[in-house]
Structure 1
Amino acid sequence: MSTPAATTKTPLARLALHSTATCAVQASGYGKCILATYTDVTKDVCKDEFALFAKCLREAMGRKW
């Protein structure tokens, strides 16, 4: 039995899969922060939420950087 990540070949397709399935909780947190602050955007306002989302994606994609 293969997992969806194993059958997804292209990096972009894997990124799409992980950003919507594997890292959905972190993506939602980042999205909620953006939604809450979009009318008064300042630099790094959602930095922590983005960092968690980015970390999840890096781990899911197998990247160490």
Structure 2
Amino acid sequence: MNATTTNGSTPLRRFAVHATTTCATHAEAYGKCILATYTDVRKDACKEEFAKFGACLREAVSCDY
């Protein structure tokens, strides 16, 4: 194993850290929506929250970090 993989600088690790810090509020809102509606499953129940979370993740992927 080389130094790049052990010091946390792999692209996947950087993305994970960036996405979880930047998108945490969107992830929390989506999770709360799912939790609130899981007993009454309806199509698109959390569509808005999911769209915001997905957009945040796509933005995190496109960032040069």
Assess same fold via TM > 0.5.
yes
Percent identity of the aligned residues?
59
Summarize the Cα distance change of 1:42–1:9 in structure 2 as closer, same or farther, 3 Å threshold.
Answer: same
TM-score (norm 1): 0.71
Cross-structure match for 2:23: 23
When normalised by structure 2's length, the TM-score is 0.71
Gaps of 5+ in 1: 1-6
Q: Which of structures 1 and 2 has the larger relative contact order (alpha carbons within 8 angstroms, sep 6+)?
A: 2
Distance 2:31 2:19 in 1: 12
Task: Tell which structure's C-alpha radius of gyration is larger.
Answer: 2
- CA-based RMSD of the aligned residues comes to 1.9
Identify which range, 15-24 or 51-60, moves more after superposition.
15-24
For 2:21 and 2:15, the matched residues in 1 are separated by 10
Aligned to 1:9: 10
